[in-house]
Structure 1
């Protein structure tokens, strides 16, 4: 996640200083744009076991890479390292791992991989990042391109039955929708939360909910954003929707209405959450800890809310009966996540069901 605003120093951002008084939030979108390509002559060629994906569960941009990696079955060829939900003034840290070090890269902070390649790296240390294991150097943090390359450049390593998340014949329609979702929704919630004036906030608020109303209408006529099965655009929208009621509604003041008050968006989000590869990557506790602890300019007390009640995520969505289709088309769902990839059961929607009924729901995965 890179929430750096124009004029801010990376250390300011890592300290939680995201708001510039009197200004609109402007995201720094300058990333390391190197790519891992299916070309043996490339600087960074596709090679199983060579690269490690560093992706924090708390971050929506990193969460995308986790979902796509799972859906395509790339777990055995691209390993994953997971920093904790918060970071210190230097960078994301591997505080969840034994001795506070990533077991493969041997580093305490993601910053070390950035500095291994760029000793004077001037920008924010962001996740997701793809790291070259032999050299310990960051390859790319360009999250927008990263998942597209997982679909195209790593195709020979996809699992049998993997979905085509970026089908060639739909790209002319998908690409503008991808841009719309990023500018208006993914980044739209941040424009609300980090607005530096009432005027900037009001403008961002109207823009966000205009976009959500547009998507609500689109999902009244189709099960998924592109039709009868999941694609890349569903992954990109889902990670924002998964955080909406838990964080953005209150913490970012996106409170015209909750996600649960949008009939189509809420049913669609539940449909995806209950689809293997989506909900089983969501750690609601880490999500709340990140936003409420790190953003000290918005939440100086760093108190993390106990709620909201998340049990609704497991309620029937009815979109299969209404529209038909299948998330994976003629393909298959991914296998259950590997132990290292498994979310703490206490941090899931199922835990809320268990609290009220005494029964742990596992059927949704």
Structure 2
């Protein structure tokens, strides 16, 4: 059913755009305005494309975060491998020295050593030193064995990290292509609209958000809510609101531009808390609170796939980086479908 509806919408869009663009017809110039129904269909398609781009952006950010972590781990392991090899070289030299010393002093059987020494006490002292040397050599061999095992483990871990890094890089590149593809498709569709039609489209979007926000507030969801920001939450809100007017750029986390989760993660870093980089990870790993208990600084997660996130600033409003082509702005907290709310400093 959904496929038939999507197909019908697409056919209607193509037919409408083809008819309106057809050359050589007297009534085609000036072009008749598109109907509200067609513009609504265009708006829905553009929104869907940007939603897909947002989901791909989350995948890109997660792959980038993991790649950075894996690169750091590889550097750390490489240092441990170098240090381990140096330690093995030192231990081998010590073991060799101990072996040569034992050969010089302990190569004869005990009876022969006692006869040659002519001094029982001297012999006993020497035998004690030999036992100490043997124990030291055994200790060195044990340490050498453990160090070699550690070195093998470091090398194995480094190989595994390289494989994971390559996987993250491939995911990152695939997500990057998907982002560009969806944004290009949305921009291409928008480019078919006249200037007045783009203005009408923006008005329709704002009206839809206003209706959603009004319905959300009328539901009484915030009735009696009076949560106050913590010190960290207030600092996070101050940071986020100070970015208003800066452009959305996918994968960006400031200072000149942001994507949605780049804004929230950097804001909470300013609030004294390091939180996950992506909206999906923020939703997955941060403590959840009821919408009715929201306080400024809490993060509101939107859509079923947690592909968008904003920061609650109080009075039913939130600050967010909406999508490509838009700037960081204040909007109604209920202007989009809410999945849930998370609290970084719970």
TM tier, shorter chain?
A: under 0.3
TM-score (norm. length: structure 2): 0.23
Q: Which is richer in helix?
A: 2
